[in-house]
Amino acid sequence: MKKKAYGKLNLGLNVIRKRSDGYHDLQMVTVPVDLFDTVEIIPNDTLSVVTDKWYLPLDEKNTVYQAIKLMHEEYGTPLNYHVKLVKNIPTQAGMAGGSSDGATAINIINEMNNLNLSQQQLIDIGVKIGADVPYCLFSRPSLVTGIGDQLQFLDIYTDFHLFIAKPKFGISTGSLFSNLTIDKANQDEFNQLVEGLTRGNYSQIEKNLVNDLQAAAIKVRPEVQEIIDDLKAFGFDNACMTGAGSVVFGITQSESLARSAVTEFYLKYPFVKKTKIITNK
């Protein structure tokens, strides 16, 4: 069985508090975009993973491998499959490429074995792999809270275009949180963003893109600010980092601007793409 594993962008990310267990409670507006990997899983004599990218792990460090083992341990599904993973989502980008691959593997194993797991059962498996996996199990525009395990699906306005640019570097999540200052003032921006998305107010959306991790990322890698400045200078209405980075996205209602940005920046940044939120998969 083969399925698409969609990448995501965080239009909003608000850090609420640090928990006693060391994790942080977050609020995120997370959306799927039309950039995806493909995961194909077929029965086999052993568990094996192959990919089209030489640098990806093929063992327990691979999220698809982890997902298959977890499903076997929790629900007794077969362990031996051959997995073919085709990667298009950049790594170390804040776009949940690995998480989406793992989530897609869970969905495939669930469907292949007719488990009919509930939404909560899927989330309980997914969160054991990573904080983005519960969202990626469904890949729908969502308000995501807690440590990524609480989802509220949103019907949102999507009449705008996005452009993503990834620099050569990734950013250590640990380094971000060690440089993080929790700013309660960003809560209003976050609320305004959600309201704009659900009411279809583009001006309210573009003015309130927010990522509490962005300031910390700029401390660690000042180049993030340079990308933001590049996209704004080119004509995007606003630009923001997604997740823990290092991808920065620009927002515009002009499809031609987003398209021309690919030509403008493809030599400057290793990965660029014009993209759009998807609501029906």
Query: Is residue 8 annotated as part of the catalytic site, yes or no?
Result: yes
CB 48 within 8 A of CB 62: no
Quick check: 223 and 179 in contact, CB under 8 A? Answer: no
Q: Which of 174, 229, 238, 234 minimizes the C-alpha distance to 211? A: 238
Alpha-carbon separation of residue 244 from 47, 75, 92, 105 (angstroms): 31, 32, 9, 23
Active-site choice (3, 8, 87, 166): 8
Are 111 and 94 a contacting pair, CB within 8 Å?
no
Q: Which of 3, 37, 101, 132 is catalytic?
A: 132
Instruction: Give rounded-to-5 percent helix, strand, coil for the chain.
Output: 35, 30, 35
Token pair, residue 163, equals 């452009």
Q: Comparing C-alpha atoms, which of 76, 83, 70, 101 is closest to residue 42?
A: 83
Task: Give CA angle at 146 (144, 147), nearest 5°.
Answer: 95
Which residues are identified as catalytic? Answer: 8, 132
